[in-house]
């Protein structure tokens, strides 16, 4: 065990103890709310007059948690718009007790210096909570004798906020029919401490008691409202609630209390999985999701349907649904789709779409796991996408949304533009690590209600960084061995075949990255490489007599009569099958070689049949084509060969007839449809059959796009069937396939979907190079504190003490060298190759290249899309 493995192991133990231990109070993991803590700190002790705070610990918390920049918030580096309201109420709390004078001045200085910038970032698109709370906190500060001095540039913006508040009050003002008293609608009562005196009925006691009904849980879940209610009424009911909050949470009061503990549970599991850490906490995640499941199925719809409570409710239920489905639980989407049948609620969500943004983001993600016949999920996907697209349109027009939702626009765009099945887990993990993206918490009005605390987040992020670094080290070593294998068996020297070892490994490692799957990854890649080479031999290299001889040799499992490339392919396949059979025998005690021979023979028979079709121009029906083409895609050959090395391998009968198992049969069809949609133009040029071409031939009134659209609809429906078969445990049709094997099927589909999502990336020499870099070679762009590094052009001096030598492979496998001396101020701006291939650096023996912005070893070249063969040097002035 090397030092990196030891580091990861120790960090895992620390996280288990501090975040996943049964003794950990889940509420303690949630981010404290400076706003609510400040309100509690302002309460006088009713037993000792007005000279002493009731919760001195809350006041101490305020004194101790001002950031170095003078504000109160969860990030010491980046203030957000809620930092304005939190800072205002915190300095009011300090002024109330005449303490922290320096902190008050720093807070006022922050308000003066930063308000303009933070308000400008909103682009006149202020959320309702801010429009109500910010002016009230300014007025409260002024009433305490604190002069809140705004910069000249921010004055007009502040006035806009005050004007918008007045508009909201006018819109929500109601008139009691009996005595004509004015008060505000219940929706605003969640901001009770920020409302003017006329906001509620004359009898405040009765109003507050009404707001504590079981149907309206949000008001009594707001510590700031409870604190204000107690200060105004002195009622023991409110004091009891405040004491309960402090007893449970200490003085790090969250924005919601009491809190449904399933909310931090799903947030913690979600965060852990999106950072790529799930493999280390499988038992803990299973326990947590078991608790979530029992609560989820206890009622079909939420008990409370109050509008202001819905962002939180939809956020939790949709996230729980997605996690539960991905882990094999049978759950109904009704728990969060119910609002589709409530027209008033749908209108409310659209009108307040920014408030519901993070909830709709999770609702949309929940539809990734839609099964056949779930029309509600189809409808909710369309609705949530419409809400989210409003934000992407805003982003495309450079209209920045609330700064407290930094990163959410990017998440939304990413989610909408690339299907979940086409995204590779390992790269998704990197994205979330590098940008420190925490799935945004749901808005409850004055704060983000449920985000992990800074300490919890930092702990997970540190582990994620080290874990990703360890994975990359493992991946580099595994790929190095596979390249050696590919070279040793002669596949790289055949000339006609696509060299896809790195592509195949990238796809496999990025979808099946669990540390225990090393042998499985190796088997998957070797099988995929052999399939690629053999398929190319049948497609474009071998003569018919050579192809027939090779197919017959595979059937007999004897190389007699073979020569040249056919002999090399058979020998490589035989050695591979022997190796898999031996590993299986060592693990399970019996031989399965004959089953593997049958499995591979089926693929060779289908390739031979397609070669005969191409040669003879045999007219085909779609049914006849698919009977062969779903086998010739060979996804079943790749996946089932490797699955034999799992701890719980599939039954052997499936090797004789892969299409007899519903999940494998679905995989065969889906991978063929994905391939044909993106490769029909090339196969038309080569005279090969293709589903798109056959559909167009049978429907001459349709063009390519129309035929693709029809096939795409079939593809989408079949993906739902596949997901149900892959995710439901021992559910449909008496399915007994082991869970690990099902997961491997899902990984295979994701790899194919990535290759054939919008283009044929598998056959492109350049399209995946940047992603391969990120997955295997490029270190994470973060410093020791977990801060995202900005990309800067690097001088050649940064790559060696005296010089950097790069070896460039160009057409014909010739090797060209250039020596780049690290003179300060010089940089290679581009490297253009006639036929781009993977480059290798002398000193580090890793893949390397020179991207358009400068030499950057060891990453792969993104600039190799160009078609000349020259190295351009340009003077770069630093």
Q: Which region holds residue 497: left if phi is over 0, alpha if psi is between -120 and 50, else beta?
A: beta
User: For 157-171, how does the pLDDT look when each residue is reduced to its tens digit (9 = 90+)?
Assistant: 999 999 999 998 888
Question: Can you tell me the distance from the alpha carbon of 80 to that of 118, in angstroms, rounded to the nearest whole number?
Answer: 7
The 10s digit of each residue's pLDDT in 298-338 is: 987 776 677 777 888 999 999 999 999 999 999 999 999 99
- Residue 77 predicted with pLDDT over 90: no
**For residue 623, with 0-12 CB atoms within 10 Å meaning exposed, 13-18 middle and 19 or more buried, which class applies?**
exposed
pLDDT in tens, 263-289: 999 999 999 999 999 999 999 999 999
Report CA dihedral (156, 158, 161, 167) to the nearest 10 degrees. -60
Q: What is the predicted pLDDT for the residue at 207?
A: 55
Element (H, E) at 787: none
pLDDT of residue 632: 97
Percent of the chain with pLDDT over 70: 80
The owner of tokens 């225990």 is 516
How far apart are alpha carbons 863 and 852 in whole angstroms?
5
Rg (CA), the chain: 31
Cα separation, 297 vs 196, in Å, equals 42
- What pLDDT is stored for residue 861 in this prediction? 35
- Please state the three-class secondary structure of 577-637 as a single string: HHHHHHHHHHHHCCCCHHHHHHHHHHHHHHHHHHHHHHHHCCCCCHHHHHHHHHHHCCHHH
Specify the pLDDT at position 433: 92
User: Which residue, among 338, 358, 354, has the nearest Cα to 346 in the 3D structure?
Assistant: 338
**Better-scored residue on pLDDT, 510 or 30:** 510
- The separation between the first and the last C-alpha atoms of the chain, rounded to the nearest angstrom, is 43
pLDDT tens digits for range 758-784? 888 998 888 999 999 999 999 998 654
Model confidence band, residue 455 (pLDDT cutoffs 50, 70, 90): confident
**pLDDT tens string 575-630:** 999 999 999 999 999 999 999 999 999 999 999 999 999 888 878 999 999 999 99
Interacting residues of 152 by C-beta distance below 8 A, sequence separation 6+: none
CA-angle at 631, arms to 625 and 637, nearest 5°: 170
450 pLDDT above the threshold of 80: no
Q: Give residue 838's pLDDT band: very low, low, confident or very high (50, 70, 90).
A: very low
Q: What is the pLDDT of residue 192?
A: 86
Mean pLDDT of 178-207: 65
* pLDDT band at residue 874 using 50, 70 and 90 as cut-offs: very low
The Cα–Cα gap between 212 and 192 comes to: 13
Q: Is the pLDDT of residue 878 over 60?
A: no
CA dihedral 177, 182, 186, 187 (to 10 degrees): 130
Helix, strand or coil for residue 816?
A: strand
186 pLDDT band (50/70/90 cuts)?
A: low
CA-based angle 563:564:568, to the nearest 5? 90
CA separation for the pair 658, 671 (Å, rounded) = 14
Residues 6+ apart with CB under 8 A from 401: 122, 123, 125, 354, 357, 391, 394, 395, 408, 409
Tokens of 395: 């982003």
Region of 812 on the Ramachandran plot (φ > 0 left; ψ -120 to 50 alpha; else beta): left
Q: Which tens digit of pLDDT belongs to each residue from 365-421? A: 999 999 999 999 999 999 999 999 987 776 555 444 544 455 678 889 999 999 999
Contact 514, 521 (CB under 8 A): no
The predicted pLDDT at position 1 comes to 73
Q: Is the bond into 258 cis (omega within 30 degrees of 0)?
A: yes
Q: Are 775 and 505 in contact (CB under 8 A)?
A: no
Tokens of 170: 């006018």
> Is the pLDDT reported for residue 859 higher than 70?
no
- pLDDT of res. 242: 95
Please, which pLDDT band fits residue 846 given cuts at 50, 70 and 90?
very low
pLDDT of 64 > 70? The answer is yes
Q: Are strands 839-841 and 182-184 parallel, antiparallel or unpaired?
A: unpaired
Name the band, by pLDDT with cuts 50, 70 and 90, for residue 199.
low
Using alpha carbons, list the distances in angstroms from residue 290 to 329, 335, 450.
9, 17, 21
CB-hemisphere CA count at 13 Å for 746? Answer: 26
Mean pLDDT for 427-446 is 72
Asked if pLDDT for residue 215 goes beyond 60, the answer is no
What does pLDDT average to over the chain? 83
pLDDT at 217 over 80: no
Span 796-825, mean pLDDT?
A: 33
Q: What is the pLDDT of residue 807?
A: 35
Residue range 518-540, pLDDT digits in tens: 999 999 999 999 999 999 999 98
Q: Are 506 and 775 in contact (CB under 8 A)?
A: yes
- Please say if the pLDDT value at position 795 is more than 60: no
Q: Is the pLDDT of residue 452 over 90?
A: no
Q: Do the beta carbons of residue 31 and residue 256 sit within 8 Å?
A: no
The 3-state DSSP class for residue 870 equals: strand
- Return the structure tokens found at 768: 């995946």
Mean pLDDT across the stretch 427-448?
71
CA pair distance 560, 39, nearest whole angstrom? 86
Measure the CA–CA gap between 833 and 810, rounded to whole angstroms.
7
Task: Quickly state the pLDDT bin for 860 (edges 50, 70, 90).
Answer: very low
Helix extents (H) in 644-778? 653-656, 662-686, 691-698, 704-727, 739-755, 769-772
Tokens of residue 848, six digits: 């390397």
């Amino acid at each position: 065990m090397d030092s990196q493995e030891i580091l990861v192991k120790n960090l895992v133990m620390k996280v288990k103890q501090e975040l996943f231990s049964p003794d950990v109070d889940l509420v303690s993991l949630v981010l404290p709310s400076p706003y609510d803590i400040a309100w509690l700190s302002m309460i006088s002790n009713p037993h000792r007059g007005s000279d002493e705070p009731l919760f001195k610990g809350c006041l101490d918390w305020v004194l101790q948690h001002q950031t170095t920049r003078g504000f109160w918030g969860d990030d010491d580096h980046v203030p957000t718009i809620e930092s304005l309201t939190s800072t205002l109420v915190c300095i009011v709390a300090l002024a109330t007790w005449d303490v922290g004078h320096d902190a008050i001045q720093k807070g006022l200085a922050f308000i003066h210096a930063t308000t303009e910038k933070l308000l400008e970032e909103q682009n006149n698109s202020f959320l309702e909570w801010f429009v109500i709370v910010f002016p009230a906190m300014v007025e409260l500060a002024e009433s305490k004798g604190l002069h809140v001095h705004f910069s000249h540039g921010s004055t007009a913006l502040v006035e806009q906020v005050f004007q918008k508040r007045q508009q909201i009050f006018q819109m929500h003002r109601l008139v009691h029919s009996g005595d004509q008293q004015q008060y505000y609608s219940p929706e605003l009562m969640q901001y009770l401490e920020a409302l003017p005196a006329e906001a509620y009925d004359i009898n405040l006691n009765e109003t507050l008691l009404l707001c504590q009904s079981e149907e309206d849980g949000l008001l009594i879940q707001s510590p700031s409202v409870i604190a204000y209610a107690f200060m105004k009424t002195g009622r023991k009911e409110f004091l009891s609630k405040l004491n309960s909050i402090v007893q449970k949470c200490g003085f790090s009061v969250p924005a919601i209390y009491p809190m449904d503990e399933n909310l931090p549970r799903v947030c913690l599991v979600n965060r852990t999985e999106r950072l790529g850490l799930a493999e280390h906490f499988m038992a803990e995640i299973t326990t947590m999701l078991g608790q979530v499941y029992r609560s989820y199925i206890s009622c079909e719809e939420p008990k409370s349907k109050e509008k202001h409570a819905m962002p939180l409710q939809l956020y939790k239920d949709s996230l729980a649904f997605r996690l539960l489905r991905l882990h094999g639980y049978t759950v109904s989407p009704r728990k969060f789709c119910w609002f589709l049948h409530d027209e008033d609620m749908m209108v409310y969500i659209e009108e307040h779409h920014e408030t519901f943004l993070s909830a709709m983001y999770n609702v949309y993600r929940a539809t990734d796991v839609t099964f056949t016949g779930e029309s509600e999920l189809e409808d909710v996907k369309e609705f949530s996408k419409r809400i989210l697209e409003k934000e992407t349109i805003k982003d495309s027009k450079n209209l920045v949304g609330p700064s407290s939702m930094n990163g959410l626009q990017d998440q939304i765009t990413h989610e909408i533009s690339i299907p979940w099945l086409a995204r590779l887990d390992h790269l998704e993990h990197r994205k979330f690590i590098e940008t420190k993206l925490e799935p945004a918490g749901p808005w409850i009005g004055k704060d983000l209600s449920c985000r992990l605390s800074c300490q919890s987040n930092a702990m997970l992020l540190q582990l994620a960084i080290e874990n990703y670094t360890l994975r990359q080290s493992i991946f580099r070593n595994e790929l190095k061995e596979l390249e050696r294998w590919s070279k040793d068996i002669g596949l790289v020297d055949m000339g006609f075949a696509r060299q896809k070892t790195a592509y195949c490994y990238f796809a496999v490692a990025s979808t099946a990255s669990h540390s225990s799957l090393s042998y499985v990854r190796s088997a998957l890649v070797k099988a995929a490489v052999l399939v690629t080479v053999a398929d190319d031999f049948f497609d474009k290299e071998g003569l018919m007599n050579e192809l027939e001889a090779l197919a017959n040799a595979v059937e007999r499992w004897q190389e007699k009569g073979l020569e040249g490339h056919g002999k090399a392919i058979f020998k490589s396949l035989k050695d591979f099958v022997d190796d898999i059979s031996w590993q299986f025998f060592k693990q399970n005690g019996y031989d399965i070689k004959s089953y593997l021979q049958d499995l591979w023979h089926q693929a060779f028979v289908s390739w031979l049949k397609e070669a005969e079709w191409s040669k003879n121009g045999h007219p085909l029906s779609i049914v006849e084509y698919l009977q062969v083409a779903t086998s010739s895609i060979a996804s079943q050959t790749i996946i089932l060969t490797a699955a034999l090395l799992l701890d719980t391998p599939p039954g052997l009968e499936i090797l004789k007839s892969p299409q007899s198992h519903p999940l494998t049969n679905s995989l065969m069809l889906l991978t063929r449809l994905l391939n044909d949609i993106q490769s029909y133009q090339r196969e038309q040029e080569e005279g090969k059959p293709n589903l798109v071409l056959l559909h167009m031939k049978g429907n001459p009134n349709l063009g390519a796009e129309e035929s693709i659209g029809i096939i795409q609809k079939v593809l989408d429906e079949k993906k739902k069937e596949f997901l149900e078969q892959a995710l439901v445990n021992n559910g449909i049709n008496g399915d007994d396939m082991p869970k690990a094997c099902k997961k491997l099927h899902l990984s295979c589909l994701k790899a194919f979907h990535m290759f054939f999502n919008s283009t044929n990336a598998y056959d492109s020499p350049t399209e995946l190079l940047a992603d391969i870099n990120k997955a295997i070679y490029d270190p994470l762009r973060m410093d020791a504190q977990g801060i995202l590094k900005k990309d800067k052009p690097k001088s050649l001096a940064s790559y060696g003490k005296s010089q950097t030598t790069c070896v460039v492979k160009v057409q014909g496998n010739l090797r060209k060298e250039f020596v780049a001396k690290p003179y300060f101020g010089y940089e290679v701006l581009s490297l253009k190759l006639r036929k781009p291939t993977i480059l290798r650096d002398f000193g580090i023996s890793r893949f390397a290249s020179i991207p358009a912005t400068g030499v950057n070893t060891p990453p792969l070249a993104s600039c190799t899309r160009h078609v000349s063969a020259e190295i351009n040097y340009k003077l770069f002035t630093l």
